[in-house]
Amino acid sequence: MPDFNKRSDWEAQLARDLARLQQRELKRLLEALGEPPSLDNLHPDYWNEFSTSARAELIPTLENIFLDSAEGMLKTTSIGVDWALVNEQAARWADQYSYDLVRGITDNTRAALQQKVSSYFRNGLTQQDLRNSLQNLYGPVRAEIIAVTEVTRAASQGELSIVKEIEKNGIRMIAVWNTNNDDFVCRICGPRNQKKQGEGWTSPPPAHPRCRCFLSHEFAT
């Protein structure tokens, strides 16, 4: 299928979800770090609570992107599928994948935070310096990168869920990689354009952070 047409809307939606989450977390974090700021002041459950609220924030949008992409794929084929099963897969995928996504975000946040707080002590920075530095970590640049990458992933998975259902009819489909073919196409993805699965790639997009590639499918002959 052509890249689903609501991609930029979904990117904006997911970036908004992340921005809301980040702003809330930054406020909570600054309070929790205390005065003077120290990671020792964080409650042992701090990151678990972050994980719970982050998943709650992200699951509905991930599921909706998956289903929107699945619906787009369905429109390109005359074969019907059991839409309830696709919905079940969407819910299961969003539930499970959100763990991995949030774990990745948490691990990277903790590592960056550790550096920033220790730099604050070593270099005698002010409270405001630390606050500004954390604004970058919890800011829109990161939200946008994560949003683009995760829309790509949810869209691939949604399309693949339709393929899985279609293939239950004894038909086989072949996945083809599509780059957006714009200025952002990178060295990783450029050579994959229009290549079938197994011809230089195995796992579906995204291939890297901010990847906007997508799959299309052909019936195997």
Q: Which of residues 45-74 bind Zn ion (CB under 5 A)?
A: none
Q: How far is CA 178 from CA 25, 65, 126, 166, 183, in A?
A: 36, 18, 48, 21, 14
Instruction: Answer for the pair 92, 177: CB distance below 8 angstroms, yes or no.
Output: no
Minimum distance, C-beta of residue 210 to Zn ion, in the bound complex (Å): 8
Max CA pair span of the chain: 68
Among 213, 214, 215, 217, binds Zn ion (CB under 5 A): 213
Q: Which CB, 35 or 182, lies closer to Zn ion?
A: 182
Task: Please give the backbone phi and psi of residue 173, each rounded to the nearest 5 degrees, phi first.
Answer: -120, 150
Q: Which CB, 50 or 201, lies closer to Zn ion?
A: 201
* CB proximity list for 113: less than 8 A, separation 6 or greater: 29, 39, 134, 137
Residues 156-195: x where in contact with Zn ion by CB under 5 A, - otherwise, as a string: ---------------------------------x------
Task: Please give the backbone phi and psi of residue 213, each rounded to the nearest 5 degrees, phi first.
Answer: -75, 165
Q: Which of 168, 192, 196 is nearest to 179 (CA)?
A: 192
Minimum distance, C-beta of residue 179 to Zn ion, in the bound complex (Å): 6
Minimum distance, C-beta of residue 190 to Zn ion, in the bound complex (Å): 8
Among 154, 155, 160, 211, binds Zn ion (CB under 5 A): 211
One-letter amino acid identity for 160?
A: L
Q: Which CB, 42 or 207, lies closer to Zn ion?
A: 207
Q: Which stretch binds Zn ion (CB under 5 A): 51-59, 68-76, 121-129, 202-210?
A: 202-210
Interacting residues toward Zn ion by CB under 5 A: 189, 207, 211, 213
